[in-house]
Amino acid sequence: MTAARKLINWLGLGLFALLGVAAVVPLFLIIGDIYIKGIDAINRLGGLWHFLTALPPTPFDEKGGIGPMLVGTLYMTALGALLGIAVGFPLGVYIGEMRREKFANVSRAAVNILVEFPTIVVGLFVYAVMSLAKQSLNQYLLDPLSKALSPVGGWITQFIGPLDGFNAYAGAAALAIIMIPYVALITASAYASIEQQLREAAYAIGGREFNALFVVLRKAVSRAVVTAALLGTAKIAGETAPLLFTAFGNTYYAPFTGPTAAVSLWIWYAAQTPYSVQIASAYGAAAVLLTIILIIFIVARIRG
């Protein structure tokens, strides 16, 4: 009897270990494939520094890089993450902490839907808004603004000026819309899990409700919120679909007010061309993107 039980136990454990391995293997296969091909490609295309700064290769080039894409991705991800945290965190406090407000239930439901939204729809939505708003926005705000700012120097036109239909700000907005519900939900669940004892202490020492909620209790849940912000940033850094109709992509260093390059867009474009040099650059770009995301992920793990 005991021998049979031992055998069943052994078989059961073996099965679960096998399932665990099966879950991990694809991850390492993907990472390994991308780094092996990517590092080889980066070396062939002119070394790491050249690859990170140069323009992408045309089909007839030997060398090239992803300079404009890297700049575009970093810029849009940073803006999108800042906006996502700035809106997502207070929203999370609202739906997590002020649960008795009537509207909080509506927002919680909305956020829960938004977090599962197809990201390409978000991009399409921002594109539509951009098309409608562009003309008056340029006419009444951005034209006068860029003229007023012109004494600062020509470099300012790289960032502020009349917008094209496709631009980095539309891309950042789409990324922010993807990040907001993500940050809000994690913030909300962190606040909802605060014990009543700690909440009372916060109000006893914090005084004002704003201080109690956004200073004392934020410090109590800061780890979860920072982790959420970092993981959300890693998530949007690799997004492609929302950028298709918003940033559009570019192959040159160009003002952020016009079509803007992104690493993910370049991978999507270059990998489907028939030219081996561009396919190689897509592998290199994938390795760079994966590195960025893994670094953010590791930082989040260490802090959390």
Partner 1 sequence: MAKIDVKDLRVFFGASPVITGVNLSIPDRSITALMGPSGSGKSTTLRVLNRLIELYPEARVSGEVYLDGRDIFKMDVLELRRRVQMIFQIPNPIPNLSIFENVALGLKLNRLVRGRRELFERVRSALEKAQLWDEVRNRLDMPAGKLSGGQQQRLCVARALAFEPEVLLADEPTANLDPENTARLEALFLWLKRDVTIVLVTHYPPQAARVSDYVAFLYKGQIVEWGPTRDVFTKPKHELTEKYVTGRLY
302 lines the binding site for partner 1 (CB under 8 A): no
Q: Is the separation of the CB atoms in 297 and 231 below 8 Å?
A: yes
- Cβ closest to partner 1, residue 214 vs residue 253: 214
Segment near partner 1 (CB under 8 A); pick from 139-147, 216-224, 261-269, 294-302: 216-224
Q: How near is the Cβ of 217 to partner 1 at its closest, in Å?
A: 8
Smallest distance, partner 1 to C-beta of residue 200, A: 6
- Identify which of 143, 165, 146 has the alpha carbon closest to the alpha carbon of residue 157: 146
33-52 residues in contact with partner 1 (CB under 8 A) are none
Kindly provide the b/e burial profile for residues 238-268, where b requires at least 16 CB atoms within 10 angstroms of the residue's own CB.
bbbbbbbbbbbbbbeebbbbbbbbbbbbbbb
Q: Which of 222, 122, 258, 133 is nearest to 179 (CA)?
A: 122
Query: Which residues neighbour 238 within 8 Å (Cβ) at sequence distance 6 or greater?
Result: 264, 289, 293
CB 220 to partner 1: min, Å: 5
**SS3 sequence, 73-121?**
HHHHHHHHHHHHHHHHHHHHHHHHHCCCCHHHHHHHHHHHHHCCCCHHH
d(CA 260, CA 8) in angstroms, rounded, equals 59
- Choice from 6, 219, 301, 303 touching partner 1 (CB under 8 A): 219
Residue type, 294: L
Asked if 205 interacts with partner 1 (CB under 8 A), we say yes
Asked if 195 is part of the footprint of partner 1 (rule: CB under 8 A), the reply reads yes
Q: Tell which one of 6, 208, 301, 303 touches partner 1 (CB under 8 A).
A: 208
Kindly tell me which residue out of 17, 19, 86, 204 binds partner 1, with binding defined by CB under 8 A.
204
- 82 makes contact with partner 1 (CB under 8 A): no
> Given candidates 200, 276, 295, 301, which one binds partner 1 under the rule CB under 8 A?
200
Residue with Cβ nearer partner 1 (32 or 207): 207
The residues, ordered by sequence, that sit 6+ positions from 233 with a Cβ below 8 Å of its Cβ are 77, 81, 179, 296
CB of 270 to partner 1, least distance (A): 45
Can you tell me which of 53, 157, 189, 211 binds partner 1, judged by CB under 8 A? 211
- How is residue 87 written in tokens? 């809106």
- Residues of this chain that interact with partner 1 (CB under 8 A) are 100, 195, 197-201, 203-208, 211, 215-216, 219-220, 222-223
